[in-house]
Amino acid sequence: MKRWQFWVGLLISILFLYLALRGLHLDQVWKSIQTANFWWLIPGVLVYFMGVWVRTWRWHYLLRPLKAIPTRKMFPIVCIGYMGNNIYPARAGEVLRAYVLKKHEDVSFSASLATIFIERVFDGVVMLGFVFLNLSELTRLNNDSGFVGSIRSLSIWGAVAFIGALVFFLLAAAFPAASEKIIERLFIRFLPERFRDKVLGFTRRFLSGLESLRSPREALMVFITSVVIWLFETGKYWFIMHAFPFQVSFFALMLMNGIVNLATTLPSAPGYVGTFDAPGIALLTAYGVPGEVAAGYTLLLHVALWLPITALGAYYFAREGLRWGEKPETTE
C-alpha cells in the first residue's frame, strides 16, 4: 500500500473506469446484468478452464529441457500464478509461480522465469494477431472515431515491443554461447564489479530457460498452442455474450480479446480494474451494441474471468501452506 506503483495503478484504474462509464445510465447497466441469463456462465467457465489446462501444458512443454514435470502437477501452480496476478499489483503472480515451482520441483527460479517471459511474449504476439486480423472491419464500422486510431497506435507500439522481444529470445536461444559472451561484455563494461557475478549467474540460468526455442519446430509448437489458448478464452467471451440481448461475430470477440488484454499490460489496480473494462465497452459500442448492455456484458465477463480462477488459485495457495504476507524467496 505504501509503494508509489500501487497508487499510480489505482489512479489509472479510476481514470479508465470513468472513461468506461461516463454518459451511461448506471441503473440500466445494473438492470442488464440482473436480467442476464447466468446459465451461460457455466459453459463459459468450462471452456476457459480448458484453456488454462492447455496453458499448463504449454508451460510443461517449455520446461522439458530443464525438467519433465507432468501437466497435472503443474496445473495448481498455474492457478496460483493467476490468483497472484489477479490480487497483487504488477503481475506478481508470475514471480509467485516461479517460486512455487522451485519449491516443489527444484527448478531454477531464473530459468523458469525465462519460460514465463516466453509465454507472455507469445501471448502478446497472438493478441496482436487477433487485432490485426480484424482491425479493418472495425475501421469500416467506426471510421470517424478516434478510437480506431488509438487501437492502431496501441497495435503498432505493441508489435514493436512484442515482436522485438520475440526476436531477441529466439536469437538468444539459437546462439546461447554468443549471447552469453555479449551479455558478459556488457556487464563488465556497465555493471559495478560487486554485482557482476550474481547478475551473470542469474543471466546464465535465465538463458538456459530459453532452450525450448532452439529449433523452429519447438517455437512453432509454442505459437500454435498459444493460439489455441486464446481461442478458448475467446470462446468464453462468446458463451457469455449469449447471456445478453446482442450478437456480434466471433471475430469481433477475438478483436475485443486482443484489445483488452493488450490494454491490461498498462499499470492498474489489482485485477486489471478499468484497463480491461474501458476498451471492451468502447469496442462493443463501436459495433453498435447499446452502451448499457455493452457495459453490463463487459463487467460480468470481467468478474467471470477473475473470480473462478482466483478462487481455485487461493484454494491451492492455502493447500500449499503459503502465507499471504510471505515474500517469495527468489534466490537459486
pLDDT at site 291: 93
pLDDT at site 71: 95
Does some domain include residue 104? yes
pLDDT at site 229: 97
Domain carrying residue 92 = 37-319
pLDDT at site 276: 94
Query: How many domains would you assign to the chain?
Result: 1
What is the block-wise mean pLDDT of the chain (332 residues), using blocks of 10 residues?
A: 73 90 93 97 98 97 92 96 89 91 91 91 90 76 56 72 84 82 79 74 79 84 96 98 96 92 86 92 90 96 97 94 66 60
Does some domain include residue 11? no
DSSP 154-223: HHHHHHHHHHHHHHHHHHHHH-HHHHHHHHHHHHHHHS-HHHHHHHHHHHHHHHHTTGGGSSHHHHHHHH
Q: Look at the block and give the residue holding cell 446482442.
A: 246
Does some domain include residue 259? yes
Dihedral sign (CA 18, 19, 23, 24): negative
pLDDT at site 4: 72
In this structure, are residues 137 and 251 in contact, taking their beta carbons and an 8 Å threshold?
yes
Does some domain include residue 21? no
Does some domain include residue 3? no
Non-local (6+) Cβ contacts of 89 within 8 A are: 3, 5, 6, 9, 267, 269, 270
Closest CA to 37 of 302, 318, 296, 271: 296
0.85 exceeded by the pTM?
A: yes
Does some domain include residue 155? yes
- State how far the Cα of 189 lies from the Cα of 129, in Å rounded to an integer: 38
Q: Look at the block and give the residue holding cell 488509438.
A: 150
- State how far the Cα of 211 lies from the Cα of 62, in Å rounded to an integer: 8
DSSP 109-158: HHHHHHHHHHHHHHHHHHHHHHHHHHHHHHHHHSTT-HHHHHHHHHHHHH
Does some domain include residue 12? no
Does some domain include residue 20? no
